[in-house]
Amino acid sequence: MDPPVRRWYHYVPISMTVALMLAPHPSLLHILVRYHLQTRGQPLAFGVHLLATYTLTFMAFSSLIICVSRDPGPVSLQDANTTSPQRGRADEDDTDEIELTESLISVDYNAPGRWCNKCWSPKPERTHHCSECNRCVLKMDHHCPWLASRCVGHRTYPAFVHFLISVTILATYIAVICVNALLFAFRNPYSVDDITPIHEISLAFYGIVITIVIGSFLCYHLYLISTNQTTIENLSPFLLLRHLPVLPSHAGDRLSNPPVEAELSYSQRNLVRDAHNVIRLYDVGWRKNWAQVFGWKGRFGWTKRLLCGGVTTGSGKYFPRNPKADDMLARLAEELVKAEKDR
């Protein structure tokens, strides 16, 4: 399937993102020069703040560029060539490594969710079809219009989280600088000019708002990483149904095997929602969960993760399962069957 043609209006949100990232810098430079150099006479503090803010800005832009330019997760070689024709050799080495255990796994593509009827191709585990991009994406997290109408998936999720971290730290750092300078202006009103406090108030408010908004989004994704979930999996409890074991034949004529959401009664829906809060299909412990997203190889592999977030290791087609998940899914199936009898 051909990818959708991106019009000019698809790039308006990312232009706004870039503008919001660059907007504070003129006022910040004014504050640093007038407060630290001219008023306080602190060239060392001026240099440290300047280095820190522009290092964080560089880190944010590097991960943003990766999110926009890198393919989020090609299911087939055709998808990779269509959306990312210039894939680097080093990038391929990171993403195309398939462990021996993965290569030996046999996949039943007749199982629910294993075949995409829109792309007419196999759909690996945790893969979802994006209607906006008109394609399947490996371990799709969500479709983001702020990233030039692109998806966040297996190969771009670390960079996306890195972007959130960089922006949050940058906004917090700028807010702290401006609040400290503003407090000095209140205590020493005759030592500062009339314009600098206006920059300090505006920029402090700007930094606090960005910290609250982006920081809240960041905390949510840190929770998702710790529990090994994607946004789609966290917000779609009925995805559990496709992982249920085979129901007994006496379950009734109303339920398919596995059941679908439209067939469930109100009580059965509540059972699935309650189970969704407990069952974490891919949760293998927070350490291993984080290693799946930000794991690196080599002595200095962490430097790439620090600068731009890197790329998730593995093929993105197979993931280790929670060893307790099968038993919990079996209990959920029994409860659904019992609720069906009482229906």
Residue positions annotated with a catalytic role? 144
Residue that is written with structure tokens 């050799």 in the block: 89
- Alpha-carbon distance of 175 to 236, in angstroms, equals 36
- Provide the 3-class DSSP secondary structure of residue 203: helix
Q: Hey, what amino acid is at 216? A: S
Token pair 């009103």: residue: 189
Longest dimension (CA), the chain: 85
Neighbours of 68 (CB within 10 A): 17
Q: Which amino acid is at 279?
A: I
CA 327 to chain centroid, in Å, comes to 29
Find the angle CA(232)-CA(17)-CA(21) to the nearest 5 degrees.
125
Helix or strand holding residue 328 (H, E)? helix 325-341
Cα–Cα distance for residue pair 300/297, rounded to 1 Å: 8
> What crossing angle do the helices spanning 266-276 and 325-341 adopt, rounded to 10°?
170
Place of tokens 């929602």: 273
How many angstroms separate the CA atoms of 326 and 301, rounded? 35
Angle (nearest 5°) at CA 243 between 241 and 248:
75
